[in-house]
Amino acid sequence: MRAHRGLVLAGGLAATAIALSGCTASPGDDDTLTVYVGRAESLVGPLIEQFEEETGIQVEARYAATPELTALVLEEGDRTPAEVFLSQDAGALGALSDADLVTEIPADLADQIPAGFTSTDGSWVGVTGRARVLAYDSEQLTEDQVPSTVDDLTADEWGGQVAFAPGNASFQSFITALRVLEGEEAAAEWVAGMADNEPELTENNLASLDLVNTGQAQIGLINHYYWYRQAAEVGAGNMRAQLKFLPGDPGGIVNVTGAAILKGAADDADARAFVEFLISEQAQRYFVEETFEYPLLPGIDAPEGLPALESLVNPGLDLSDLHSVGESQRLLADNGLI
């Protein structure tokens, strides 16, 4: 009898689950704006609430990691319910653009973000900047012992001491920058040198930072804001890892998060309003205060304690050149890193 009741219960629950599906707004609904957000809800959710309050536009936000969401949109193709994609990195937006899934950002919006931090063809617009940095274990190293260029990391003394995430998009963007700035030969030499040096390979930036924080690795190649987020959780005074910025070095380039409007929403005023909001002064200040990223709208100060964005800009680098990430992956694959 007990099992029988259980089956009935399970059936009832299933029926409720099906009923539940009727309650959710159908995708592509006209009164709501569907936004795919490749970042955590706790970071972006409050900002979206501000947008809803101010404009009266209802947002259906779908949160997942940027790679998963990008794979999702590529699979959905032109049937995607997404109208705006807010990505954690420029590479994902480039992939959507390459698949011809996005529409051009109106010039009056795109032009507000300085060249170098946004797409060259208007396929997406930069929202915030993220600097590549070296995280180092402050119990094993002083700041001057930490190299000020990634070129030095292939030296024997760093054997087994460097952590990075070879499959991570930001890391691969850095490799691409290395290729663009120092040439294919130098980049290939660097990757081979690093592979020989038995690096600690991780799944993501956070894992690399954890290795440095626990003394498992002396140096980690990460994005700057991971440190600030973790410091907010455990207290800055408890951070064993410290950051060294690398102005002018390929290892210290500034990458961006950005937004794209999907093709199906080409004429959608709500989608435009949302992108406009993301690069408004209000949203830019929100990112500075809550996510510790660089604002890209001119005239807004960077988070406290960070070197000025201008000091990190790499004049030789056009972010749209980072599209050739496929070549970088081949390089990493040939050296057995991915």
Partner 1 sequence: MTAAATTTPRRPWGLVAASLAAVALAAIPVVHLIVRVASADPAELTAVFERPRIPLLVGNSVLLAASVTATAVALGVPSAFLLARARLRWRGMWAVLAALPLAMPSYLAAYGWLAWQPSMRGFWAAWLVLSFVSVPYVTLPVAAALRIGSTGLDDVARTLGRGPLGSFMLGTWPQIRPAVLAGALLVCLYTLSDFGGVALFRFPVLTTAIQQAYSASFSRDEAAVLAVILVSLALLVVVGEQFARGRAARRIQAAPSVGRRRMTRLGPWTVPAVGLLVLVPAVAVVVPVAVLLGRVLTAETLQAFEFAELGTALANTVLLSAGGAVVAVLLALPIGILAARHRGRLVRGIESAGYLALGLPGIVVGLSLVFFSLSVVPALYQTALVLAFGYGVLFMPKAIGSIRSATGQVPVSLEDVSRTLGNSRARTWWAVTARLARPGIFAAALLAAVSAMKELPATLMLRPTGTDTLATELWQRTDISAYGAAAPYAVALLLVAAVPAFLLSDARAGREATREAIA
- Find the shortest distance in angstroms from Cβ 325 to partner 1: 7
Which of these ranges, 64-72, 113-121, 259-267, 274-282, lies near partner 1 under the rule CB under 8 A?
64-72
Is residue 169 packed enough to be buried (19+ CB in 10 Å), middle (13-18) or exposed (0-12)?
A: buried
Q: Are 84 and 265 in contact (CB under 8 A)?
A: yes
Q: Report the C-alpha gap between 255 and 69 in whole angstroms.
A: 19
DSSP element (H, E) containing 173: helix 169-182
Which of these ranges, 3-11, 135-143, 147-155, 179-187, lies near partner 1 under the rule CB under 8 A?
3-11
- Three-state helix/strand/coil letters over 236-256: HHHCCEEEEECCCCHHHCEEE
Strands (E), the chain: 32-37, 58-63, 84-87, 102-103, 125-137, 162-164, 200-201, 219-223, 241-245, 254-262, 294-295
Which of these ranges, 48-56, 66-74, 114-122, 301-309, lies near partner 1 under the rule CB under 8 A?
66-74
Q: Which is nearer to partner 1, 109 or 123 (CB)?
A: 123
- Residues 125 to 184 in contact with partner 1, rule: CB under 8 A: 166-169, 171-172
- Residues 6 to 35 in contact with partner 1, rule: CB under 8 A: 6-7, 10-11, 13-14, 16-18, 20-22, 24-27, 34
Q: Report the C-alpha gap between 289 and 308 in whole angstroms.
A: 16
Which of these ranges, 65-73, 125-133, 252-260, 306-314, lies near partner 1 under the rule CB under 8 A?
65-73
Answer yes or no whether residue 284 interacts with partner 1 by CB under 8 A: no
Number of residues that bind partner 1 (CB under 8 A): 78
- Residues 308 to 337 in contact with partner 1, rule: CB under 8 A: 325-326, 329-330, 333-337
- Find the shortest distance in angstroms from Cβ 108 to partner 1: 29
- Residues 32 to 51 in contact with partner 1, rule: CB under 8 A: 34, 40-43
Q: Report the C-alpha gap between 216 and 213 in whole angstroms.
A: 8
Q: Which is nearer to partner 1, 238 or 282 (CB)?
A: 238
Q: Are 219 and 163 in contact (CB under 8 A)?
A: yes
Candidate residues 63, 136, 190, 286; the one interacting with partner 1 per rule CB under 8 A: 63
- Residues 174 to 233 in contact with partner 1, rule: CB under 8 A: 200-203, 206-207, 210-211, 214-216, 226, 229-230, 232-233
Q: Report the C-alpha gap between 176 and 314 in whole angstroms.
A: 13
Q: Which is nearer to partner 1, 119 or 230 (CB)?
A: 230
Q: Report the C-alpha gap between 128 and 113 in whole angstroms.
A: 10
- Find the shortest distance in angstroms from Cβ 8 to partner 1: 11
Binding string to partner 1 for residues 70 to 109, with x set by CB under 8 A, is what? xxx-xxx--x-x---------xx--x--------------
Residues 6+ apart with CB under 8 A from 262: 73, 80, 82, 83, 84, 85, 96, 101, 102, 103, 271
Candidate residues 186, 188, 192, 338; the one interacting with partner 1 per rule CB under 8 A: 338
Q: Report the C-alpha gap between 301 and 66 in whole angstroms.
A: 27
Q: Which is nearer to partner 1, 24 or 142 (CB)?
A: 24
Of 113, 75, 112, 117, the residue nearest 95 (C-alpha): 75
- Find the shortest distance in angstroms from Cβ 248 to partner 1: 25
